[in-house]
Amino acid sequence: MGPRQKLWVEKERRSANWEAKAMKKPACRATGMFAILILFGASVSGAQAEKKNQDVNIVWGVKIPMRDGIKLNATLYTPTQTTGRLPVIFALTPYTTDSYHDRAIYMARNGYAFAVVDTRGRGNSEGIFEPFANEGRDGFDIVEWVAKQPWSNGKVAMWGGSYGGFDQWATAKEFPPHLVTIVPVASPCLGVDFPMTNNIFSSDDIQWIALTSGRTANTNLFDESSFWLGKYTELFLKHMPFRMLDQVVGNPSPTFQKWLDHPTPDQYWNAMGPDAEQYARIQIPILTITGDYDGDQRGALTYYKRHMQYGSTTAKSEHFLVIGPWDHAGTWIPRQEIGGLKFGSSSLIDLNNLHKEWYDWTMKGGPKPEFLKKLVAYYVPGLEQWKYVDTYDEIAKSTMVLYLSSDGRANDVFHSGELNVDRSQKSETDKFVYDPLDVRSVDLQNEEVSDVLLDQTGALNLFGNGLVYHSAPFDRDTEITGSPKFEVWISMDVPDTDFEVLLYEVLPSGTTILISDDMLRARYRESLTQPKLVKPGEILQYEFQTFQFFSRWFEKGSRIRLVLRSPNSIQTEKNYNRGGAIADESGKDAITAHIIVYHDEQHPSRLELPVAN
């Protein structure tokens, strides 16, 4: 595994498999690339379950007609003690209705009708499943059908995370009249963070496709990490085109091929989410939830920021944002310890109760949830407390700018360059080499390791492919919260390659904590939609502006480590540097890239960190 996969809590980065975790019952364990997590309580006997749930009516096999005649399958939960009409919550899921059973029971006990609906072509729903393509229209039809049922009072809300979070935004953009509120959690934004980030596809895209191939979830295959790592490694070692990955794993997929045919955020992807005009028309209360280590955080924050950009003043005043110290699954059930980092007990908020209080407020006229003191709530690890601001832009009070400098030997942690507050007048260039045919890193990638945030070694072997820079120790405690920016001047002798930036906190003990990262394909340095190949030898500025949001209380004595490299991993689509269609390039197209990084007076390469205190 590369450092990102090895150090990040969740290995399903950029994958929409969050709800699938809810189907698993065994204790938490690490299994290579993916972790199996307890998302529900321990199972109970049939007699216990009957007694436990006797206050909830369950109707299985409810058929909801869509506008084209297709019927979607739903399981309906209602409280037994209520005879009147109820507000309704529904979830639309590709992982079968069982995946929301406990949540549905909880909400029914709190006075709501709850419908869990299989997406088109999944579970017991009719039709053909095309991921993400039909959820908006189907969501509209579900809202309006539910609103007219004798057990409904006409107020309808949605619930769900990951794929279920996407569903909510896709439905909201269709403006069903009876939709009262949405609570999108850990929501992927198509073309932004799934199935590619900055136009770079992820190997685990095909793993998620395998999970959702057929009618029911292939969870055992999905969890067989040795199989997936073996197949990714096979593609990597044989230098095969990324487009062949579905054949390598034995699951030829029209969906995978279609995705690769749309390598930029074009109309195919854009049509699946709201556009500027639709954001402006969305007038319902929204609660967005994500986490520092959530693999779909970029997507969740993209929806939020676009609504803040295009939404009306009234709508923005009713859009709340919560960012906790959680991974993807933690946005469902928070855990106090993740990958060697332990957070304060206050990080463990009851998200079930927060949802209930939100629905009580927006659908029943109850009080606003006490936890939502202001429009934005975020947790600061290290300080171990929640903070609140009125707008996202108010989080950072200032910016810390650190300039790169070096004596020309910044190729490892022992001879690293520097990150200086003062702009350097004289500084040697740094150089590194990315050979797409170099497979030395594969042994590290195949290590069976637990999900960890902490790296106790404090050392990185970049195999000559990359540069390392360190800041001076912090002279005071500092809260850094937000999304960093990195501008770097580079020349190279190939028409295209990929770059990756990783940021770490280095504790006084030497322990390192991966805090954020970003990736950029050179041809998309100016625009993600308009590729422009590089002229060999030309010095160009590259701007990294999509780092993962994080919050961290840096104690006095800690330092920042920045690593710049070209990714050469089994986990991502490989760039062979030729400049053609990336998905179709292979080892025969490979060109070795010789990369020069500049940080002098004319080329002030710099890192910007958002400081919140």
Summarised one tens digit per residue, pLDDT across range 83-97 is 799 999 999 999 999
DSSP per residue, 478-531: EEEEE--EEEEEEEESSS--EEEEEEEEE-TTS-EEEEEEEEEEGGGSS-SSS-
Instruction: Point out which residues pair with 402 in neighbouring strands.
Output: 607
Please give the structure tokens belonging to residue 421.
């507050």
The predicted model gives 524-539 an average pLDDT of 98
Looking at residue 287, its pLDDT comes to 98
Residue of higher predicted confidence among 497 and 19: 497
Per-residue pLDDT band for 426 (boundaries 50, 70, 90) equals confident
In a domain, 381, yes or no: no
- Both tokens assigned to 33: 């690339």
- Contact between 449 and 339 under an 8 Å Cβ cutoff? The reply is no
Q: How far is CA 460 from CA 188, 362, 411, 563, in A?
A: 31, 50, 10, 9
Cα–Cα distance between 189 and 64 in angstroms, integer?
27
pLDDT of 449: 35
pLDDT of residue 394: 97
Specify if 589 maps to a domain. Answer: yes
410 plus 284 within the same structural domain:
no
pLDDT tens digits, 539-573: 999 999 999 999 999 999 999 999 999 999 999 99
| 10 pLDDT tier (thresholds 50, 70, 90) | very low
Beta carbons within 8 Å of 233's beta carbon, 6+ residues apart: 442, 445, 446, 570
Backbone φ and ψ for 197, nearest 5 degrees, come out as: -120, 125
What the block records as the tokens of 198 is 């900055």
User: Is 70 exceeded by the pLDDT of residue 582?
Assistant: yes
Looking at 332, 358, 382, which one is the last position of a domain? 332
Nearest alpha carbon to residue 100 among 348, 363, 352: 352
Residue type, 591: I
Q: CA-CA distance, 56 to 48, in Å (whole number)? A: 14
Q: Is 168 a member of any domain?
A: yes
Residues 420 and 328 in one domain: no
Answer yes or no: is 137 within a domain: yes
* Domain containing residue 80: CATH number: 3.40.50.1820
pLDDT at 286: 98
Token pair in block for residue 110: 């709190």
- Quote the pLDDT of residue 291: 98
Cis before 195 (ω within 30): yes
Please state, in angstroms and rounded to a whole number, the distance separating the CA atoms of residues 23 and 10: 17
- Contact (CB, 8 A) for 202 and 188: no
Residue ending a domain, choose from 311, 332, 353: 332
Query: pLDDT exceeding 90 applies to what percent of the chain?
Result: 84
**Between the CA of residue 4 and those of 125, 300, 318, 451, 454, what are the distances in Å?**
38, 20, 35, 11, 11
Residue bearing the bigger pLDDT, 446 or 264: 264
416, 306: one domain? no
Q: Say whether pLDDT at 42 is over 70.
A: no
pLDDT band at residue 442 under the 50/70/90 scheme: confident
> Residue 598: beta bridge partners?
489
Q: 149-165: per-residue pLDDT in tens?
A: 999 999 999 999 999 99
- Name the percent of the chain lying above pLDDT 70: 88
Please tell me the predicted confidence (pLDDT) of residue 18: 41
Residue 129 placed within a domain = yes
- Are 565 and 462 in contact by the 8 Å Cβ rule? The answer is yes
- Asked if the structure places residue 151 within a domain, the reply is yes
Are 432 and 293 in the same domain?
A: no
Q: 332, 348, 365: which is the final residue of a domain?
A: 332
Q: Same domain, yes or no, for 439 and 542? A: yes
* pLDDT band with cut points at 50, 70 and 90 for residue 461: confident
Task: Give residue-wise pLDDT tens across range 191-241.
Answer: 999 999 999 999 999 999 999 999 999 999 999 999 999 999 999 999 999
**How confident is the prediction for the chain on average, in pLDDT?**
89
Report the C-alpha gap between 489 and 493 in whole angstroms.
14
Q: Is residue 247 part of a domain?
A: no
Burial of 288 (0-12, 13-18, 19+ CB in 10 A): buried
Is the predicted pLDDT of residue 7 greater than 70, yes or no?
no
Q: Are 318 and 304 in contact (CB under 8 A)?
A: no
Write out the two tokens for 307: 């609504």
| H/E segment holding residue 606 | strand 606-611
Across the chain, how many H-helices and E-strands are there? 17, 32
Report yes or no on 231 lying in a domain: no
* CATH number for the domain that contains residue 592: 2.60.120.260
**Distance, CA of 27 to CA of 580 (rounded, Å):** 46
- Note down the domain range covering 579: 398-611
What pLDDT, on the 0 to 100 scale, is given for residue 359?
98
Alpha helices (H) along 219-312 = 219-222, 225-237, 245-248, 254-260, 267-270, 276-281, 297-310
In 3D space, the residue among 22, 95, 46 whose CA is nearest the CA of residue 328 turns out to be: 22
Given a cut of 90, whether residue 40 has pLDDT beyond it is no
Shared domain check, 193 and 98: yes
Reported as a pLDDT band with limits 50, 70 and 90, residue 427 is confident
pTM to 2 decimals? 0.91
Residue 400 has pLDDT above 70, yes or no: yes
CA–CA dist 485, 544 (Å, integer) = 6
pLDDT, tens only, 327-383: 999 999 999 998 889 999 999 999 999 999 999 999 999 999 999 999 999 999 999
CA neighbor of 285 nearest in space, from 386, 349, 368: 368
pLDDT, position 389: 98
Confidence of residue 448 (pLDDT cuts 50, 70, 90): very low
Rg, C-alpha atoms of the chain = 24
Strand blocks (E) in 162-298: 179-181, 184-185, 196-197, 200-201, 286-293
Look at residue 82 in the predicted model and tell me its pLDDT: 80
The string of DSSP codes covering 356-410 is HHHHHHHHH--PPPTT-SSSEEEEETTTTEEEEESSGGGS-SEEEEEEEE-SS--
Which residues are within 8 A (CB) of 602 and not within 5 positions of it... i.e. 6 or more apart?
none
pLDDT mean over 122-127: 97
The total of structural domains in the chain comes to 2
